[in-house]
Amino acid sequence: MIYFLSDAHLGSLAIERGWVHQKKLIDLLEEMSKDAVSIYMLGDMFDFWMEYFIRDKKKRQFEPFFKELRKLRRKGIHIHFFTGNHDLWTFGGLEKLTGAEIHYEPCTIIRYGKAIYLAHGDGLMPSDWETRYPQPVVRKIKRFMRLRSVFHSPFLQTLFRSLPPSWGNWFGYNWAKKSRLKEIENPCPYKGENKEELVLFAKEQEKQHNHRDYYIFGHRHIELDLQIASGSRVVILGDCFQQWTYAKLDKKGNLTMHNFDNQ
């Protein structure tokens, strides 16, 4: 089996009893390990992750999670970690701590005869988004894109890495907390097939003859399994801090969604 999960947001100041949350994620990974060949984590597994030039003692809180991933690797299970918009600032440290293969960009894999497009999902838009959406939405997207370019700036990343970890973590975790609380209080539900950005992105890929059987994303914190006109399926994984949803691909190439709370 191949498993896909995303958006655990470990360490979030908006999640009560973080150690319980981490333990539940470890329990989910233990369950997957019974028949897993590979596990793909599609971003935002941490609510904030920055690798400083100075040793960061706060990362000790995630040692149970790291230990579990190392144990899975010793079992021969391949672990893949896609950076999201909350945990993109890894520069080799996360790979050493977990043994995971780190992916900084979306990619297409072939597994069990199926072509699968994998990405966290932030920044993926249809090419006509500036004319497709009303102006208030366009302005919101532009703000996000500007912020995303700041986060991805090598120069600004180097400056932030130079901060004392206590300073950087205070800023990063509190910034992320505001985002998490805003989402919890005012969630953004599924927008519909003709408005959901990731669905439109997949449709455009298909029109450009870049066919994949499955498009699997994180980021949006909604559970979606939608077949589009080309026959492809667009899957948005939900999350692993409220919904506890994930996807599983069996050896026949069948992809199914599951809820850990219902097991």
Q: CB-hemisphere CA count at 13 Å for 54?
A: 12
Residue 29: count of CB within 10 angstroms of its CB: 22
pLDDT tens, per residue, the chain with 263 residues:
999 999 999 999 999 889 999 999 999 999 999 999 999 999 999 999 999 999 999 999 999 999 999 999 999 999 999 999 999 999 999 999 999 999 999 999 999 999 999 999 999 999 998 888 889 888 988 999 999 999 999 999 999 999 999 999 999 999 999 888 888 788 889 999 999 999 999 999 999 988 999 999 999 999 999 999 999 999 999 999 999 999 999 999 999 999 998 76
Could you give the strand order of the β-sheet that contains 245-249, starting from the edge strand earlier in sequence? 101-103, 78-82, 38-41, 2-5, 245-249, 255-259
User: Which residues, listed in sequence order, are joined to residue 89 by a DSSP beta bridge?
Assistant: 50
Can you give the pLDDT at residue 16?
Answer: 86
pTM to 2 decimals?
A: 0.95
Can you give the pLDDT at residue 179?
Answer: 84
Residue 245's contacts (CB-CB under 8 Å, 6 or more residues apart) are 223, 237, 238, 239, 257, 258, 259, 260
Can you give the pLDDT at residue 63?
Answer: 97
User: Which residues, listed in sequence order, are joined to residue 225 by a DSSP beta bridge?
Assistant: 235
- Strand, coil or helix: 4: strand
> Hey, what domains does the chain have and what are their CATH numbers?
2-262 (3.60.21.10)
Can you give the pLDDT at residue 122?
Answer: 95
Alpha-carbon separation of residue 180 from 7, 14, 136, 225, 228 (angstroms)? 11, 6, 22, 24, 30
Round to whole Å and give the CA distance between 221 and 239. 5
Give how far the C-alpha of residue 148 lies from the chain's centroid of Cα atoms, to the nearest Å. Answer: 15
Can you give the pLDDT at residue 214?
Answer: 98
How do 114-119 and 214-217 pair as beta strands? Answer: parallel
